[in-house]
Structure 1
Amino acid sequence: METRSKITVILAVVLILITGCVYGQDRAISTSQLPKTAKNFLAANFKGVTTSSVIEDSEIFGVDEYKVRLTNGMKVDFDSKGNWKEVDGEHQKVPYGFIPATIRNYVAKSFPNTHIIKIERKSWSYKAELSNGIDLEFDRNGNFKRIDD
């Protein structure tokens, strides 16, 4: 009985190690290997800015997301299909072309001396961080919900 439990423990440890190696694989790729949607997003919103690194984050069942760092210091995360998930200006104003007009208009009207330095898109909402440190939440249509503490 003791030998059987030792074998079970050893097999469990081996399984955990194998799963850990397969589960979270990050690898550097070239910009040309990004999905077309992501390449188009970068070309439209960061014209003339090149990438300094592109990381493909894979999970067990395929690519989970792409993490792109640009030479101007900004970061863009894309989902597995190349749709933007987050744009982080790293304290710089992010391009506004892809941000829903309702969000742009709300920020311009309610916080006229600020700009968006980070925006995140989730399934049912947006979250925008302003240059004055305030975080705003919007619904999926870009309507203001609340200030996030």
Structure 2
Amino acid sequence: MKSFRKITGAFILVFSLASGLIFAQDKAITANQLPKTAKIFLAAHFKGVAVGSAIEDREIYGVDEYQVYLANGMKVEFDSKGNWKEVDGKHQKIPFGFIPASIRNYAAKNFPNTYIVKIEKERWSYKAELSNGLDLEFDSKGNFKKIDD
């Protein structure tokens, strides 16, 4: 009887994992299928840069995020509502209009010969990567916290 329970438990575990993989899929979409907020962000900060491809990351409960790969090699991630989560310039200088002024000012003042190549917005913080490889961490209000190298 114990072996039957183990087999049944293993079967249920495998089935649960398999069904999760079936329903959690990435789907290629067009730029027009992005949420309005994401389209506005791209138009404002990446004017004239074509979208190379866009991916909708679907989970069981719905869309989790969107990943947009631009023709200039940069990558932008948006949450399910189209709010930016991460902008990765792939070692290129990223536009700064959407970056909080306190973060821009701190980087410019303390690292004048560098520029921001990547920024991540998390629930309670920001992380900015500079062209010299340093990672700066800020709180949710843009106040400097620490440097990681």
State the TM bucket, normalised to the shorter chain: over 0.9
String of CA shifts for 1:44-77, please: whole Å, max 9, x gaps: 0000001111000011111000000000000000
Q: CA RMSD of the aligned region, Å?
A: 1.5
Instruction: Give, in whole Å, the separation in 1 of the partners of 2:93 and 2:54.
Output: 21
Specify the SS of the correspondent of 1:147: strand
Task: Measure, in 2, the Cα distance between the counterparts of 1:35 and 1:92.
Answer: 26
% of aligned pairs identical? 65
Residues 101 and 9 (structure 1), Cα distance of their counterparts in 2 relative to 1, 3 Å cut: closer
Q: Which residue of 1 aligns with 2:86?
A: 86
Q: Which residue of 2 aligns with 1:56?
A: 56
TM-score by length of 1: 0.93
How many angstroms apart in 2 are the aligned matches of 1:140 and 1:12? 39
Unaligned 5+ segments in structure 1 are none
Change (3 A) 1:10 1:139: closer
Map 1:68-147 onto structure 2 (within 5 A). 68-147=68-147
Aligned residues: 148
Residues 103 and 15 of structure 1, relative CA distance in 2, 3 Å threshold? closer
Q: TM-score, normalised by structure 2?
A: 0.93
- Alpha-carbon offset, residue 18 of structure 1: 1.8
SS of equivalent to 1:104: helix
User: Can you give the 5+ residue segments of structure 2 that lack an aligned partner in the other structure?
Assistant: none
1:128, distance to aligned residue in structure 2 (A): 0.2
Structure 1 match to 2:18: 17
Q: Does residue 46 in structure 1 map to residue 46 in structure 2?
A: yes
The aligned amino acid for 1:143 is N
